[in-house]
Structure formats: structure tokens, C-alpha cells
Amino acid sequence: AAAAAVRGAKQSLRAELKQRLQAMSAEERLRQSRLLTQKVIAHSQYQKSRRISIFLSMQDEIETEEIIKDIFQQGKTCFIPQYQFQSNHMEMVKLASPEEISLLPKTSWNIHQPAEGEVREEALSTGGLDLIFMPGLGFDKHGNRLGRGKGYYDSYLKRCLQQQEVKPYTMALAFKEQICHQVPVDEHDMKVDEVLYEDPSTS
């Protein structure tokens, strides 16, 4: 019964968050994205990380394009998600350059990603990841994350814990509209180490 209650709570919160995100103007999304880009570039965890996984943004997510450019400018190695749509399996595959993104085919979610058959260097097979930028629909201040319900990131993080000695640092990038009082979670949900967002009390 408890599991069903959590599922129901997640579904209604997802619907509410999607409405909140749809109500945001393009200007406001861009303004917060720029602010978070500056926060990321100044962040000590980002500065010391060499191998970084980052998502390519959907329309209702923080825009990651400028962070990706900075990853390459700093000479770090960049990995992006390659989702397998018939399962909840995801790999993090190496990106050659920021310019390459627009050449990649688009998925049904309208995100660029390497074609399913294309073989690329996978992060876990070549030394793991130092930092993973986490997408999601909602977050609370305790690091609880509400994903889109497929479990891609939760299962990937579990593989990281099995295959690399030091756990990657996980950082969520969120609009302040995505910050919730409390996100409902079950035992499969992995917490994030830090949620970055525009917090008026700390700026």
C-alpha cells in the first residue's frame, strides 16, 4: 500500500511540476540557466572534476549548452546520455566536441543523441565519472529527486557504485520552480549530493 501511495504522490507532483514549467517564459528559463552556468563554472566540485557527464536539455530543463562549451574549453572530458528506449538502460558516451551535438540524430523526445547502434567510448569502461549533472522534474532541499519515471539515472548510478572506486559527485540543475517542499521517494530512488538553483537567501 505504501508503494502505491508513493506512486500516486509522484504522479500528481509530476503533473503539477509540468504545469509550473510550462508557465515559465523563455526569457526566465534563459535567465536562470545563465545564472546556474555561472554557479557551475565557479563550483569547486566542477573545477576539480575531469570526467563529467551532462544531459542535453529538453525544453523544460536548465539549458546546458554553455556548460558543455566550458567543459571543452577547460580540457575536461564530456559524456552525454545514450538512452535505450525499450529498457531503462542508459550509457554515458563520449562527446567529441560541442559542435558535434547538432549533427547527432534526434530521439522521440527531441533530444540529440548518438544513434543506438553507434559504438562510442562509454564512461564506466574507461575510468568512470567524477561528476554527473542530473536532470529531473522536481527536487527538494534534502537532495531527493523526482525523475520522469523511467529510472534511467537511478540504475546508472547503481552501476557507477559497482564499477568505480569513488562515487561520482551528483549535482542537479534546477529552476527554482522545480524546488518542492518534499519529494516522495521509495527505496530505489538515489539522492543527489547537491541541488543547484537560484536561491534568493544565499545570493
Residue 161 among known ligand-binding residues: no
Q: Is 120 annotated as belonging to a binding site?
A: no
Q: Residue 153 corresponds to which amino acid? A: Y
Burial group, residue 35, by CB count within 10 angstroms (0-12, 13-18, 19+) = middle
Bridge pairing between strands 138-139 and 145-146: antiparallel
Question: Is there a binding annotation on residue 69?
Answer: no
Q: Which residues pair with 109 in a beta bridge?
A: none
Residue 123, C-alpha cell as written in the block: 564512461
Q: Is 12 annotated as a binding residue?
A: yes
Strands 131-134 and 51-53, sheet pairing: parallel
127 is in an annotated binding site: no
CA quadruple 176, 37, 192, 76: dihedral, nearest 10: 170
**141 assigned binding-site residue:** no
Note every long-range contact of 107-111, with CB atoms under 8 Å and residues 24 or more positions apart, other chains counting: 107/83, 109/58, 110/58, 110/59, 111/56, 111/57, 111/58
Q: Is 103 annotated as a binding residue?
A: no
Tell me whether residue 148 is annotated as binding: yes
21 marked as part of a ligand binding site: no
* Residue 10 marked as a ligand binder: yes
Tell whether 136 is in a known binding site.
no
Residue 11 marked in a binding site: yes
51 annotated binding-site participant: no
149 is in an annotated binding site: yes
Binding residues: 10-14, 56, 61, 145-153
Binding residues for ATP: 10-14, 145-153
Binding residues for substrate: 56, 61
